[in-house]
């Protein structure tokens, strides 16, 4: 079990949203969000919230353009960056055969649960894509599954049909099972169908993990899209990715 004892600013650069979290002795004392498109244009819109005295930022990114923008901003403003990737994980074990293919956010999530949870553990991260990652004590990051996120299903319908509209996930999905207009019908499709898909994947993963380890794994859910879903037997940890960044920084960096 790792206990954070440092102050560090962490940025999770996602496909849609960038999330800045500032930790002090293990406590999240401040956080800010910015659309990734805006971050690419000007990282300072988010980095300006980093305390002036702190010149180090730990980050993970799945958007190369955003990574380049942040790197240039750091060079221009004398910031030091710690980028969590497969080459900067220290002693964290990775048994996945193709580690270069693992998203940096997935590495951060895996490190967080590896150092704080009973293992094995399944991490579900619901965002633009929904990922399912398996972490064990002996194998560390073992592998996972990738599906479109809830919004991705709605976008697919809009982009690949002539008449279905662009629909954004509402703060609360409908509870009823029969849509009274097209938008509601599409939202119900996500509300009723998406959790069933996720639970079906989880049951399959559970079965394989139990066969391998003879123990029922813990299950953690994170990511912005989780708010619209009801997934059984999950522990909700909203800030798992940036917490994993903070742990990785503390274990591997001496600035």
Task: Show pLDDT as tens, one digit a residue, over the chain (255 residues).
Answer: 676 767 899 999 999 999 999 998 889 999 999 999 999 999 999 999 988 667 889 999 999 999 999 999 999 998 899 999 999 999 999 999 999 999 999 999 999 999 999 999 999 999 889 999 999 999 999 999 999 999 999 999 999 999 999 998 876 778 899 999 999 999 999 888 888 899 899 999 999 999 988 888 999 999 987 776 777 788 999 999 999 999 999 999 865
Whether 25 is catalytic is: no
If 0-12 CB within 10 Å is exposed, 13-18 middle and 19+ buried, where does residue 93 land? middle
Q: What is the pLDDT of residue 171?
A: 61
Q: What is the pLDDT of residue 243?
A: 95
Catalytic residue among 12, 54, 76, 105: 105
Put simply, whether the predicted model's pTM sits higher than 0.85 gets the answer yes
Alpha helix segments (H runs only) across the chain? 36-41, 44-47, 64-76, 104-116, 150-159, 182-213, 240-252
Name every residue whose Cβ is closer than 8 Å to that of residue 164 and which is 6 or more positions away in sequence: 157, 158, 182, 186
Q: What is the pLDDT of residue 6?
A: 75
């Amino acid at each position: 079990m790792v206990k954070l004892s440092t102050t560090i600013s962490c940025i999770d650069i996602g496909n849609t949203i960038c999330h800045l979290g500032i930790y002090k002795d293990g406590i999240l004392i401040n956080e800010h969000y910015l659309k990734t498109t805006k971050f690419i244009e000007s990282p300072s819109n988010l980095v300006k919230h980093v305390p002036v005295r702190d010149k180090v930022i730990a980050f993970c990114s799945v958007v190369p353009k955003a990574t380049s923008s942040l790197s240039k901003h750091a060079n221009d403003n004398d910031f030091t960056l710690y980028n969590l990737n497969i080459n900067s994980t220290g002693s964290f074990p990775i048994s996945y055969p193709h580690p270069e293919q693992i998203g940096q956010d997935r590495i951060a999530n895996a490190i967080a649960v590896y150092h704080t949870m009973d293992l094995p553990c399944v991490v579900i991260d619901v965002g633009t894509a929904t990922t399912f990652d398996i972490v064990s004590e002996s194998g560390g990051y073992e592998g996972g599954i990738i599906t479109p996120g809830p919004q991705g299903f709605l976008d697919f319908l809009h982009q690949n049909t002539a008449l279905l509209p662009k629909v954004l996930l509402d703060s609360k999905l409908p509870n009823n099972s029969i849509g009274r207009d097209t938008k509601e019908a599409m939202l119900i499709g996500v509300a009723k169908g998406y959790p069933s898909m996720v639970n079906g994947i989880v049951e399959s993963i559970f079965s394989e993990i139990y066969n391998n380890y003879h123990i029922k794994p813990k299950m953690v859910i994170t990511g912005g899209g989780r708010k619209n879903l009801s997934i059984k037997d999950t522990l909700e940890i909203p800030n798992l990715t940036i917490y994993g960044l903070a742990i990785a920084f503390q274990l591997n960096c001496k600035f």
